[in-house]
Homo-oligomer: A and B are copies of this chain.
């Protein structure tokens, strides 16, 4: 059933989307402000459940692309994503019936809402990553046969780039990344145009409403003085993201971060509150792996989420800093994202990691973490 998303729900959605962004996907404060402004001007947004999208409807997903370290400073003017959508419509000779996120994240769950508010189009409650990933070929859309091309990239000087690499989504990413770097390190995109039938077949469903519900669960737990991480685990249990594991609790001891090749790449080290244990993470925009005392506890495509120890507010990789007191959780991804064909596109090897994928819930041992 379709539902209406208004400005009052944006704080919860931004929080939940940032959590699903697993360290990437953009800053939730920036994302929320952008949608708030768009809704103030144009009104609320209609969200369509994927099941109610007509099979022959035409859906054009929209997003922001770039290093989160840049995106947090280079905030879009507001109309660039609409310009990307319109450019792709003109190129394809077909107008969109809806837009959709390509990933979850503090900004990238929000860009389609800005587009929806501005254009009056509905937004489909689904996305192509079920989390955030750093590269455009890392989409369930592409894994299950929808090409990303042609795509549109739109910059803040009104410049437009259209890219067509046929069914080679990795080459599309390579060219789009180059355009984004030359546009200042962040740009707005429209890609993976597809039919409603393809949405149903390839998208990770209901990730906007999931973001909203987990964001709300965290807030309500705080208000009720309950443990927000437990509330989060309870909220996730009946969903496609059924398993949450608390991996670590401690302080950020070191962050090594560079904006390079259009990405924010780096590593972080955390020390447990009692000083006996060390967590190491590696990230490319998003957290890729969590190793506790040399043992992998969670790895892509499962989610590794760094949360504030008290409030469970998600902390993105670009805002990680020394001394933050955190809880780190691993969350299982939907089965759609763990198939061999999915792991071939966004499994550990795709990020240069040596370790195999091990589902976060497969560890027999239940970690007891002192908090």
Contact = CB atoms under 8 A, between A and B. Distances in A.
A161 B159 contact: no
A242 interface: no
How many identical chains are in the complex? 2
Nearest to A165: B159
Given A160-B163, A161-B161, A178-B182, 9 more contacts: A157-B165, A157-B168, A158-B165, A159-B172, A160-B164, A161-B162, A174-B182, A178-B178, A178-B181
A245 to B, nearest CB: 39
Nearest to A171: B159
Contacts of A168: 157, 159
Nearest to A181: B178
A343 interface: no
Nearest to A172: B159
A257 B91 CA distance: 41
Nearest to A159: B165
B162 A162 contact: yes
A162 B91 CA distance: 10
Contacts of A160: 163-165
Contacts of A323: none
A297 to B, nearest CB: 36
A229 to B, nearest CB: 42
Interface string A172-189: 101101110111000000
Contacts of A172: 159
A132 to B, nearest CB: 23
Nearest to A163: B161
A67 to B, nearest CB: 16
Contacts of A159: 163-166, 168, 171-172, 175
A87 to B, nearest CB: 8
A154 to B, nearest CB: 10
Nearest to A166: B158
Contacts of A174: 182
Given A163-B160, A164-B159, A175 B182 contact: yes
A313 B183 CA distance: 41
Interface in A109-162: 157-162
Interface in A163-220: 163-166, 168, 171-172, 174-175, 177-179, 181-183
Question: What 4 A-B pairs come out closest when comparing CB atoms?
Answer: A178-B182, A162-B162, A159-B165, A178-B178
